[in-house]
A and B are shown apart, each in its own frame.
Chain A
Amino acid sequence: MQKTALCNRSTRRGIRYCIKTPLVMKLTIVLLTTVFLNANAKGVSQTVRFSGKSVPLEKVFSEVEKQTGVVFMYFEMVLKEVKPVSVKAENVPVEEFLREIFKDQPLDYTIKGKTIFVTRKPPPIKKSSQSGLLSKNDTPLPPPVEITGRVVNSLGIPMTGVSITLKGSSIGTFTNDDGRFRLSIPGEGDKKILVFSYVDHQSQEITIGRQTTIDITMEPSERSLGEIVVVGYGTQRKSDLTGSVVSVSKTDIQRMPIINPAMALQGKAAGVQVMNNSHQPGGRVSVTIRGNSSINAGNEPLYVVDGFPLQGGLTFINPADIISMEVLKDASATAIYGSRGANGVVIIQTISGRRGIPKISVRTDEKINKVRRKIPVLNASEFRMLYNEAYANQNAIDGGSRPLPYTQEQIDNPEVDIDWQDEAFQTGFGTNNTIQVTGGNEKTIYASSLNYKSEEGIFKTSKWEQLGARLNLESTLSNVIKLGANLSYNRVNNGLVETDHGGNSVPRALLESMPDRPIYDANGVWSVASNDGYLSPVGLLEGLDQKRVTDILIGNLMLTLQLAKNLSFRSTANVNLSSAKFSSYVKKGANSAGGINDQTGRIVQDHSTNWVNENYLSYDRELKKSTINAVLGASWLKTQSDNTDISVTDIPSDRFGVNQLQSGVQPTVSSAAEGAALNSFFGRVNYNFNQKYLFTVTFRADGSSRFGAENKYGYFPSGAFAWRLSEERFIKDLGLFSNLKFRASYGVTGNQEIGNYQSLDRLATIVTFLGNQRVPGIANTQLPNPELRWERTKQLDFGFDIGLLNDHIQIVVDYYNKKTEDLLLNSPIPQTSGFSTMLRNIGSVRNRGFEIAVSTINIQHSKFQWRTDLNAFFNRNDVVSLVNENQDIFLTSFVNPLSIVRVGESLGSFWGLVREGVYQNQDEINNHLANPGTARPGDLKYRDINGDGVIDSKDRTILGNNNPRLLYGVSNNLTYGPWNLYVQINGAQGVTVMNLNPVVLEDRQTQTNSLKTLLNRWHGEGTSNTIAAVRINSDLNISSRHAEPGSYMRIRNISLGYGLPSSLLSHINLSSATITASAIDWFTFTKYGGYDPEVSTSGTLGHIDQGLDFSAYPSYKSLMISLLINF
């Protein structure tokens, strides 16, 4: 309803806009949607009270609209020749009143629900009697041509009230409830062009050739300046925006078979980096807007769904239910979200109803998933040959006499030779089905949807199954009160494969399992397939049963009161209940010496309850030359959660899995509970002067329970200015720009996403043992920090919005510079304090960059349309200051410290030694300044960076970082008749991925299997300068070998769609049907050696640890067929 109120307002402005702009031809149209909304805002009564003499008809219409909620729809010139009316009516039924006022007019009218279409009476000579037809007085000489057709939206849903006009004339009509239209146009003259227009959609011009049937699909207009953009606590016309906001359309969201809606942003919005961190179905996706600016307080943007901050994960929103996603990037746009705005805000709106008969649409996707690539590893013979070689080398080094493990016969003819990747992978199937029903009457509109999806990963037991339902209602109770309610429920049943990074991880076992081990041992149980005692991937897949079942119920209530003409009050409440049960059961025989205990069952239950209440006043005022709108409000938020974790071992039978835990022994139990609260006050004023100068001032005060007693509240102001240069004479006179806007903004936003209770001292229970008994100790486990406060991000943004060639080319360019201060960092402190880290506000990080987005209409023809969208994003990140200038902070380690935070370098810089090659002979060792005394030919040669003659930790250096220098996306959309071809490409350039797999798979021979590259090891002078001789004892070091270029270009989506012709569909009573075949992620171009350069396997720091690959879940590509039907 919030949307309604503002749309309403903007409609009025929309009219004025239409009048002024030649773009909308010679007609002024009142467009249906907004009309509905308009009607919606009014009370409804079925009688009319009106008296007056010689009142212009328009005025009568508007009075009737006010009183009854009906809406008149007409072309402006229709009323040119009408007479003023004199009428006296006291509570006369509408129909009767209409008959009265139209009595002597050259007009016809048709009542459709609450809409009254007013058209010119057909000229008496002609026997045309079609309603909705409209023609000029002058009778055409040749016989008129009758054009029929149907208009649907991008989902295939018929669109009512789309205006169709003949360019250069006043001939026009509207589509009916079924989206159909019929229009007679004069037969004479040269080429004719029909213009299709509808609010919030792109106008289309179709040249009429010989065809008499025209079916078209209207695309939502990202391009139209009249487009409404949802911003925090309100909506704005795109043309009025002062901030940097990108919209992703419904069509784009729905093209991809995604589980997490954030994936729809990938490659679609400049400035936004979306990484699919785990390719496990439903796996972790991280979104970064304009670079990482925090280490410990998170970098994920705030998601606002239907006005409420999301809690519980985006995966619980069905992408098919989303009608728009807006990414708010600069401080002007995000400051209204204050302490949660620093990482940007993504605003998501879900479906809403439309007045009219129920519209039903069904969509079904069927897909198959295949692993993107296999990684070549040694086969059994190669493995054994190198195993022997390692022993021989080791004997040579220390003069030992270890017997070689394999005979030549065993090497040449291994008893088994397993390709574990073949054994563990499967072709996964996916299905996704949605039914949506929308509709409504005068008082209430509704939208509902049901969704079932299931997605199998490329491992046998990984599966995502989701059932979702949604009902969005909106009701006008009186001309003062409006009420809305949304309810959504989702259940997810997620079968997980073990990806813990210990040895019992399926992706790890996949590559490390030795090829000469059988799948099952002599007793028929899964064999141990590594020298570390870990199971094979098959054993882990079959022997471990893990799943997570999550239920999420979200309910919203929204109440709007129209307090005065310009003032409304809105109060909203949101409750989010979630319950998740993780269970894991290890079957008999699936124990591994590496630490899985069989017949162990575990259940973890998590519950959370969150509520939000927001109350705000909106004031809208149009003055002569300017408009003001203002928002002032308060918000309250509370979250509470608890969890219970139970596990037992030695369950006697596999039969009941985790459902009979009481039959096990050694129970381990833990439980915990926590909560947080946020209280905020906010305000914003938009001032628009003369449609040229736009000002926005925003302020928010946020109080968070998470911060120190001395810093509970944080204050976040911002200001912005935009200048619509294209409205200025001197620009208009150039005739070059159809749109030109300059934007500038500056503001402060915050970040508070740290854990709860971090500012308090924490005396926690810790259990230990005395006298063989458990005894509960209590000790201080956290130093208090009463000064703990918000991270503050100061951001400056300059941008231009440019439209050329009648908006056929649109360009958006932004430069930003944001500096995050008071970085929340869990930083090391002297351990003599008894503690090793403390969460403190120290240091600052800067992100600077350019964003550019270009949209072009290359060809716009009735039969053939081609559009291209392109975006590119350049970001530079550096750490400006830290606790002490010279203190390096190491965030992650694997064998050695792995990622370093250092002043002057980017967050996410990788750290290690530089490999110079392999010592070929003793001379080379002797000549190398930093030869370790113990080096031998065949050992790795590292660079002595500090030149002190020793290779040690001081010789580590920065090997690259995980911030791409460039991120880009390009999409092309071609339509030819009923055919549609869509190709989307995205990629990253100038980024490093730390491929940790070779640390194990190249440098740790004989313990595990190795990559095929190990065949290129050094085994004599000149044999290799990249890989060391094989050994039993390996000295493991992170080095330049592991920092691989992670640039890639991926064809995300190629899809070909075909819309069945309406002539065929009408026989089977369908409005529309479209079949689409897509290839998803099918082609990836990269030099990266792991499964996928888009990877992050470190779960602890998320964004900062991007680009670490250790046993990542392999990525997959898919083929999909979709069918979209509208009834």
Chain B
Amino acid sequence: MKFRYIAFWSVGILLFSSCKKFLKEKPLTFLNTVTFYKNEADLNSALYALYQAQNTYYDGEAYAEMFWVIWELPSDQSYPNEGAGVSDNLKIDNYNFDPEIKYYDRWWRTAYKIISRSNDVIKNVPGMPISDEKKNLAIAEARFLRGQAYFELVMGWGDVPLVDETTVEFFPVRNSATEVYAFVIEDLKFASQYLPALWPDNEYGRATKFAAKSYLAKLYLTMAGFPIQDQSKYALAAQEAKEVVDQGPYSLYPDVADNWNPTVSPMEQIYIVDKTRAAGNGSYFDSYWAPRNKNELAAEAGVNLVGAFLPNEDFYAEYPDDDPRKKKFFMTEVTSFMDPSLTLTLDQVTVRKYWTPLYSNGNDQDLVRLRLAEILLIQAEAENEVNGPTTQAYDALNAVRSRAYGDASHNYAGLSKDQFREAVWLERALELCFEGVRWSDMVRTRKYKGSSVFDYINAAGVSPLEKNLLFPISTPEMSTNENLLQNPGY
């Protein structure tokens, strides 16, 4: 009987003992906000995460297509290759900016991911037990990335919701483009004030003072054009660009192609996205610009040559034959890196700018976001608008030109203000092609090849419409936030 009593008690205990701790989740692979932002190491990790978000921006989520599909394909410089089977590419090239196109959704999503992570840093750093100097540095870095993300959003979409570290609204409305620009200017100014001019080599790729200034220069130039048309910004653009050119630790490569050669040290690059080849990180975008399906060129590399994009033949024809960039940026035949005895003649002119040896995990070619040549051309253009074709303007323009030709033989001289402007625009096209700047130039200037109207007609006979000056807000975003108004025409 004693036994039964013991049993009874054990039953009672087993049945009804309860323990709150039992149901508490103790994650083994991640932290939460409460346990984070405690020390400098935490802070560094939080900042690295911003670069990770930016890295997927240009690569991860869409392999390497997204950047070019959105910013390059609508331009007059390129078109999607046939047979690549990507109907979104065709739609964009034909100015059917369908809100369902996944790239618009992805770009928007990733931009706000960067913004959200930056906001986390900006919000949490002030409370950390570190010096003010370190706090400002960290906040500057976060504001740089946030500003850059907003800059691209406002260029693409116009009015966008401004979400900062104080925002609690889950369903924000759109702020006007002017407000957004003002916000970005504040971020970039703060960044240019506190960021260092250089980082150690092993942190190359982090935001710098001059990267911030370069973006400011670019932003002011953009604001001076359509649709804001705030001409007063030319002076500011010229000023910021001049400071980068004069004070920044950059110089032009003698050979322009070295900008995309991972084996030479950085010199001209002002801001890049690090595409060091390692699992899942190497750059794949060369494959998207490579000759389509000519896999024998890269057979050992085990990478498919997607060849999704081709240069417009009209644009190719614009290069004078003696412009060395014609051969550096384009190819009509190609020699295999794997087997130098194998040379193939290509059916179509193909972009050579990014053609490098392919490896199974991509290659080490960084994605160059800003380089000195662009800043020089911004300086030339802005200076010309403010003061006419001054020496300073000519120096900037001719620096790019003489580097291209290897000597001063093709330098410009004696142009009127208007001629100078056209010359800069042409130079931007010849120098910066396929770097994702052409479409925003077209939108900004509403000009094409020197004509005075935005009258580009693509190969399929389609022209951009007024609505195409802005991207559509993606269908998923529109349907989850009823407070958003779609851009006109979509």
Contacts and interface: CB of A to CB of B under 8 A. Distances in A.
Contact of B51 (A677, A712, A777): A777
Interface string A676-697: 1101010000000000000000
A1036 interface: yes
A831 B87 CA distance: 25
B3 A777 contact: no
Nearest to B477: A831
Interface string B57-94: 00000000000000000000000001101010010001
A533 B291 CA distance: 13
Interface residues of A, number: 102
Interface string B1-25: 0011001100100111011001111
B83 A1032 contact: yes
A594 B304 contact: yes
Interface stretch (B106-114, B179-187, B215-223, B319-327): B106-114
A1083 B298 CA distance: 48
Interface stretch (B195-203, B233-241, B384-392, B395-403): B195-203
B109 A830 contact: no
Contact of B298 (A593, A647, A757): A593
B299 interface: yes
B29 A779 contact: no
A830 B94 CA distance: 29
Contacts of A712: 23
B29 A704 contact: no
A764 B481 contact: no
A295 B109 CA distance: 23
B30 A830 contact: no
Interface in B435-472: 459-461
Nearest to A668: B279
A705 B119 CA distance: 30
A536 B42 CA distance: 49
A711 B490 CA distance: 42
B27 A679 contact: no
B30 A765 contact: yes
A1006 B293 CA distance: 12
Contacts of A1034: 85
A763 B43 CA distance: 13
B245 interface: no
Interface in B208-253: none
A595 B303 contact: yes
Interface stretch (B31-39, B337-345, B405-413, B422-430): B31-39
Contacts of A762: 27, 30, 32
Contact of A677 (B22, B99, B100): B22
Given A593-B305, A778-B42, A828 B480 contact: yes
The 9 A-B residue pairs whose C-beta atoms are closest, nearest first, are A834-B116, A777-B49, A777-B48, A779-B49, A768-B52, A778-B45, A591-B302, A593-B295, A668-B279
Contacts of B19: 679
Which residue, of B22, B30, B35, B55, has the highest number of chain A Cβ atoms within 10 A? B30
Interface in A767-816: 767-781, 784
A1007 interface: yes
A895 B3 contact: no
Which residue, of A616, A634, A777, A830, has the highest number of chain B Cβ atoms within 10 A? A830
A632 interface: yes
Interface string A649-684: 100000000000000001010001111110101000
Interface size band for B: 35 or more
B52 A779 contact: yes
B206 interface: yes
Nearest to A887: B479
Contact of B25 (A673, A760, A887): A760
Contacts of A897: 100
A771 B202 contact: yes
A775 B98 contact: no
Contacts of A780: 33, 116-117, 120
Given A594-B304, A666-B278, A832 B361 contact: no
A771 B199 contact: yes
A313 B295 CA distance: 42
Given A593-B295, A768-B281, 13 more contacts: A398-B459, A531-B83, A531-B293, A563-B8, A563-B11, A594-B304, A616-B15, A634-B16, A756-B27, A769-B51, A772-B276, A780-B117, A834-B119
B261 interface: no
Nearest to B7: A561
Nearest to B360: A597
Contact of B205 (A597, A705, A769, A1037): A769
A834 B203 contact: no
Contacts of B22: 636, 638, 677, 679, 703, 705
B180 to A, nearest CB: 13
B23 A593 contact: no
Contact of A595 (B35, B51, B302): B302
Which residue, of B18, B108, B116, has the highest number of chain A Cβ atoms within 10 A? B116
Contacts of B100: 896-897, 953
A522 to B, nearest CB: 12
A563 B6 CA distance: 10
A84 interface: no
A533 B116 contact: no
A721 B299 CA distance: 72
A563 B11 CA distance: 10
A952 interface: yes
Contacts of B109: 831, 836
B115 interface: yes
B204 interface: yes
A402 B347 contact: yes
B275 interface: yes
A23 interface: no
Nearest to B204: A771
A75 B51 CA distance: 87
A343 interface: no
Contacts of B460: 934
Contact of A830 (B14, B49, B171, B298): B171
Contacts of A706: 25
B19 to A, nearest CB: 8
Contact of B48 (A533, A596, A775): A775
Contacts of A579: none
Contact of A772 (B94, B274, B280, B293): B274
A995 to B, nearest CB: 18
Nearest to B42: A778
Given A763-B32, A768-B52, A831-B109, A593 B302 contact: yes
A831 B172 CA distance: 10
A1035 B205 contact: no
Contact of A1007 (B33, B83, B278, B280): B83
Given A776-B48, A777-B52, A895 B87 contact: yes
Contacts of A768: 48-49, 51-52, 55, 274, 281
A772 B204 contact: yes
Nearest to A932: B96
Contacts of A761: 32-33
B204 A1033 contact: no
A769 B278 contact: yes
Contact of B28 (A613, A674, A784, A884): A674
B61 to A, nearest CB: 11
Nearest to A400: B82
A704 B477 contact: no
A135 B68 CA distance: 98
B161 interface: yes
A764 B203 contact: no
A103 to B, nearest CB: 39
A776 B43 CA distance: 11
Contacts of B116: 780, 833-835
A591 B360 contact: yes
A896 B48 CA distance: 34
Contacts of B52: 766-768, 777, 779
Contacts of A676: 25
Given A394-B82, A615-B15, A762-B30, A776 B45 contact: yes
